Structure 1
Amino acid sequence: PLAPGQVEYQLAHGEARGLIVSGQEQADKVLPRLPALPGLEFLISFDPVDVAGKLPHLTWDALLGRGRQLGAEGLGRVLLREDALGRDSLATLIYTSGTTGPPKGVMLSHGNLLSNAEEVRAIVEVGPDDFSLSWLPFSHIYARTLDHYLAHLAGGLTFLARSRDTVVADLAEARPTMMNAVPRFYEKVWSLVEALPPEERGRRLRGLFGPRLRVLYSGGAPLPRHVCAGFHDAGLPLLEGYGLTESSPTISFNRIERFKIGTVGLAIPGVEVKIADDGEILTRGPHVMLGYWKDPEATRRAIVDGWLHTGDLGRLDEEGFLTITGRKKDLIITSGGNNIAPSELERLLLADPLIDQVVLYGDGKPFVSALIVPNLEGLRAEARALGCALEFDGELIATPALLDFLAARVERRMQAVSKPERVKAFLLLGRPFSVEAEELTPTQKVRRAEILNKFRDRLDALYMEKPPATSWEMREEVSDTHP
């Protein structure tokens, strides 16, 4: 879910004229911000909402009724507009997190979407007898292509989960033949059976997914190798793929008949993949976006001579299997598939006068954590006011009262962003980053990789069942896996 400010940005930047919402909760994100959205002309809602006369409003049922009243003349106008469209026509704008600034609107054409769905269909061999359960949000291209467009092309049936909290119950009802999900879902499922005897794991997993299941697919974030291997050993093929919004999204996929655990598979038909001299993954083909909405300079940087620069690092083996080894960009992708630009969140935290330096962590993890360097002079003043002293565990500050005090400030600042983006745990470092410790460049730029490598063990401990006393953790939100 997006925070109200993010909704406002996308509506304004995308020049939206209309908005469709499910109900009052989503409408309330927009109604107070209408003065900043002069181009918004109407609102459609599935459930009745109170717009307080601020915007022309129709329910979905009322909209359908108006359409029926237009009759043949109205249908003719629609068909004329439809005939004017081609494969190169803009189909959708999907906003993705930027690493160095505001989110970018990715322009995808009808041809982008069709070609990607057509080629994926050939790989996954989906047909009219297939059933899938969809629970990922359609604001992401992964869910649109793998759950929605694919089913339309193949004539298969897609069940929509009632909510992310009812997925297990909905599985029992839908009994799908195939399913797409993010790694965090499979991690949670595997944690339920990992301690069981090997022969029992398969039975439990089959009981969860149902007797018709033939294959599971994972995308949106790196899939832990042990989870993938565990599902395979239990008799449930779990196949990992790779892509990004700018590539509509699929670039590569493992196949049932040809896969390698630990890789993201082979390039799909019609898609070229190569590795640049610096290790960056480049791709070319009909899946590459039209560009970034109202940002020609970013488009020129991203697409060079037809090759999309993904920002990811990888390697191709002799058989063409692609392995992701890292990212040139600093984008954090949690195990729930949430793309999070750390620079924006870090700037938000650094606006607090008690925080001098910060580095975020969380790639492949269930939530975002942070290593924070406080303003030590200010923190000592707060310690005196609280009647406590700075206590240390090695280099980390371990005073409970100070951790709680700073936690409240962090938590308040995190209200400005969506829940998956929020820092939910942190460590407090009792010294500043330095050039001498190889944590800063000579020009005082943070060396993110060096810092994370140095403190990785302490940061990883934040994700344990019982985190260390030197940390603060917002336990009630740790289970949030919504992409």
Structure 2
Amino acid sequence: MKIERLFDFLEYYKNTYPQKQDALASKIDGEWVKYSITEYTDIVRDLAYGLINLGVKKGDKIASISPNAPEWNFIDMAVSSVGAIHVPIYPTISSSDYEYIFNHAEVSMVFISGKAMYNKIVDILPKTPTVSKVYSFTDCKHAPNYKEVIELGQKEPQAEKLKIIQAGIVTDELATIIYTSGTTGIMKGVMLSHNNLISNALATSPVPQLGVEHKALSFLPLCHVYERMLNYMEQYNGISIYYAENMAKIIENIQELKVDMMSTVPRLLEKVYDKIVAKGEALDGFKRKVFDWALELGFNYDIEGNNTAIYNMKLAIADKLVFSKWREAFGGNMSVMVSGGAALQTRLGRIFWAAGIPVVEGYGLTETSPVISVNTLLSGELMIGTVGVLLPEVEVKIAEDGEILSKGPNLMLGYYKEKALTEEVIVDGWFHTGDLGELIDNKFLKITGRKKDNFKTSMGKYVAPGHIEETMKESSFIDMIVVVGENQKFAAALIVPNFEHIKDWCSKNGKEALSNEQAIDDADIKKAIKEEIAILNTRFGSHEQVKQFRLIADEWTVESGFVTAKMSIKRSVVTKAYQHLVDDIFK
């Protein structure tokens, strides 16, 4: 069958994989609760009937605020099947942001995860007059359970009405509004059609090379287009989707389920790698030498397979002694991890491939549903250091100033209620991404920076901070970093150290354990970081080198507002918060 509307994925799933017993799953009270494809489709059907009985009409805006869970999918599919518009919202934003979105989108109904989320929005409900009803996925004293909508649909089926409604829904109609502030802080409602998301899901479906017998772990927010689109793709392929309990239990869930794939962001891979290295550095004597030798070998892995026979022989030994344990840590079945949202360090890409844990990096934006390009497991479609080949039917051209322009079936309808802003970014059919890049061999897209991030020093030299930051993060001492220096004589940096590494470093060097605040003032630690920066600086021209830095004790998190949900640093927020340190550097 042809998939033209988002809810068509469900009919396709049921027809293609009718025996699927774990289409979706989440852990409740220590047990994995699984939904078969039959249960999934029945719940969505009854929810759709219930929504019709509640008076939901085509074009109504229905919001959901919830961590990843099967219920998120039930609402998503039911809303789209009655022609309403799904407005998925992050569960971590502020009350004022919820108020803005409810009013701007004119949301009529809200589905929330439970009591904690209700408490977060209760005070703004009197200020959001279009919201008529709030339902909860779990027991909540002040909000009816969403199962009441299901029961209403079961009591009063609306099969004929639903059939008529669905017949009037076409592929290019608005399906969802996704509010994104990105790293700029300016909230925009990105309008995506059914076809926008479907085209992306179908185009990326060959990437994992997995099917009905495989499992995926999902932990990135479903309210973000990246994970949402991949969930559609996984359902199209018949891959079981298990939702991680929380961020702290990702590795535990991977090992328990022995999943075959997951999507990720570089931040998580960096954290996992740092923990592996910390364990390796705790080894003594011969074992430590073997570990360090294996790392060095992995960093030199040729992804295209052009490794010498001697190298392959060494790698086989390293695999048996070191890398096989990495695979065990990832459950033993991890066939592919899809990385996006930010740049992946080249050395990490190489070493994970050397360890037999393939990581494919892609690129896109909410406005492009999201994928523009992606590396794949297919021969000739993988190049470390790039974000891969363009998806079928997606076009890219590089503007004179280096900006990446793109168009294709994945390009958004526009920004909701923001015609002028839409016309600023879509010119003659080409979307201006704001990212800088180049095409390698006229095939592989490489990101070289962010147009608005680049700055000019007082000496007239341009600096692209993104590349410098990614390079500096190769130091085990550096967790997060923002390079500054606009209109100044040199480039400098604000650095959040890797406090876990510092703790291990202090132990090995006979120093007492230090608090974060003590660590950033410690002369030995500053000296060690300075030495690491000096080594990494040799890769850059003089005007790009980090000449000074200041250490920061506070970790930058989504909750603190310093990073986005996909773990990209909000540069302007960071520099504003630590302007006193920037001033101190350049005084």
What TM-score, normalized to structure 1?
0.71
Relative distance call for 1:462 and 1:213 in structure 2 (3 A) is closer
User: What count of residue pairs does the alignment treat as equivalent?
Assistant: 369
Instruction: State the AA in 1 paired with 2:174.
Output: L
Q: Distance in 2 between matches of 1:302 and 1:102?
A: 14
Relative distance call for 1:95 and 1:453 in structure 2 (3 A) is farther
The aligned residue for residue 144 of structure 1 is 228
Q: Distance in 2 between matches of 1:36 and 1:364?
A: 45
Q: Deviations over 1:61-94 (max 9, x none)?
A: 22211110112xx222222222111111111111
Match of 2:574 in 1: none
Correspondence 1:1-400 to 2 at 5 A: 1-51=92-142, 57-71=143-157, 74-97=158-181, 102-146=186-230, 148-194=231-277, 195=280, 196-197=291-292, 198=294, 199=318, 200-257=321-378, 258-330=381-453
Which amino acid in structure 2 is aligned with residue 66 of structure 1?
A: L
- Looking at structure 2, the residues matched to 156 and 238 of structure 1 have their Cα atoms a distance apart, in angstroms, of 18
* Whole-angstrom CA distance in 1 between matches of 2:496 and 2:557: 17
Superposition deviation, residue 201 in structure 1: 3.8
Distance across 1 between alignment mates of 2:551 and 2:357? 38
Aligned mates of 2:183, 2:386 — CA distance in 1? 25
The answer to whether the 8 A contact 2:208-2:261 is kept is no
Q: Separation in 1 of the partners of 2:104 and 2:485?
A: 31
Pick closer, same or farther for the CA change 1:425–1:254 going to 2, 3 Å. Answer: closer
State the secondary structure of the residue aligned to 2:207: helix
**How far is the alpha carbon of 1:112 from its aligned partner?**
0.2
Superposition deviation, residue 100 in structure 1: 5.9
1:24 is displaced (CA, Å) by 1.0
Deviation, 1:34, is 1.5
Shift of 1:231: 0.4
Partners of 2:104 and 2:489 in 1: how far apart? 34
1:149-183, CA deviations, whole angstroms, 9 ceiling, x for partnerless residues? Answer: 01221122111111122111111122111111111
**Counterpart AA for 2:370:** P
SS at match of 1:12: helix
Q: Alpha-carbon deviation of 1:29?
A: 1.5
Aligned mates of 1:452, 1:268 — CA distance in 2: 42
1:300 Cα shift?
0.6
Contact 1:123 1:268 in 2 (8 A): no
Provide the C-alpha distance between the structure 2 equivalents of 1:154 and 1:173, rounded to a whole number of angstroms: 22
Aligned partner letter, 2:382: F
Aligned to 1:380: none
Q: Distance in 1 between matches of 2:263 and 2:481?
A: 32
Q: Percent identity?
A: 36
1:448 Cα deviation from its structure 2 partner = 5.7
Task: Provide the rounded CA distance (Å) in 1 between the counterparts of 2:271 and 2:480.
Answer: 20
Other-structure match for 2:554: 474
**Equivalent in the alignment of 1:454:** 491
User: In structure 2, what residue type is equivalent to 1:93?
Assistant: I
Contact 1:246–1:288 (8 Å) recurs in 2: yes
RMSD: 2.9
CA contact (8 A) 1:426 1:473 kept: no
**Secondary structure at the residue paired with 1:77?**
helix
1:462 to partner: Cα distance: 4.4
Q: Distance in 1 between matches of 2:443 and 2:103?
A: 42
Q: Distance in 1 between matches of 2:469 and 2:552?
A: 17
Asked whether the equivalents of residues 426 and 471 of structure 1 are also in contact (C-alpha less than 8 Å), the reply is no
Contact 1:247 1:287 in 2 (8 A): yes
Q: How far off its partner does 1:28 sit?
A: 1.2
Q: Contact 2:181–2:188 (CA<8 Å) still a contact in 1?
A: yes
Q: Is the alpha carbon distance of 1:26 and 1:452 closer, same or farther for their aligned partners in structure 2, counting shifts above 3 Å?
A: farther
Larger mean CA deviation between 111-120 and 58-67 belongs to: 58-67
Whole-angstrom distance in 1 between the partners of 2:552 and 2:358 = 38
Q: Would the aligned equivalents of 1:88 and 1:109 in 2 still touch at CA under 8 Å?
A: yes
Aligned residue for 1:381? none
Mapped contact 1:265–1:321 kept (Cα < 8 A):
yes
Deviation, structure 1 residue 461: 6.3
| SS of equivalent to 2:441 | coil
Which digits, 9 at most, give the CA deviation of each residue in 1:220-258, with x for residues without a partner?
A: 111111111110111211110000100000000011133
Native 8 Å contact 2:496 2:552 kept in 1? no
**Partner SS for 2:205:** helix
What CA distance in whole angstroms lies between the structure 1 residues aligned with 2:254 and 2:101?
A: 33
CA pair 312-273 structure 1, distance change in 2 beyond 3 A: same
Contact 1:131 1:156 in 2 (8 A): yes
**Conserved in 2, the CA contact under 8 Å of 1:90 and 1:109?**
yes
Asked if 2 retains the 8 angstrom alpha-carbon contact of 1:311 and 1:329, the reply is yes
CA contact (8 A) 1:240 1:264 kept: yes
Give the aligned residue type for 2:237: A
The structural deviation recorded for 1:45 is 0.3
* Corresponding letter in the other structure for 2:255: A
Structure 1 alignment gaps of length 5 or more: 52-56, 332-360, 367-423, 428-446
Per the alignment, residue 54 of structure 1 pairs with none
Aligned to 1:430: none
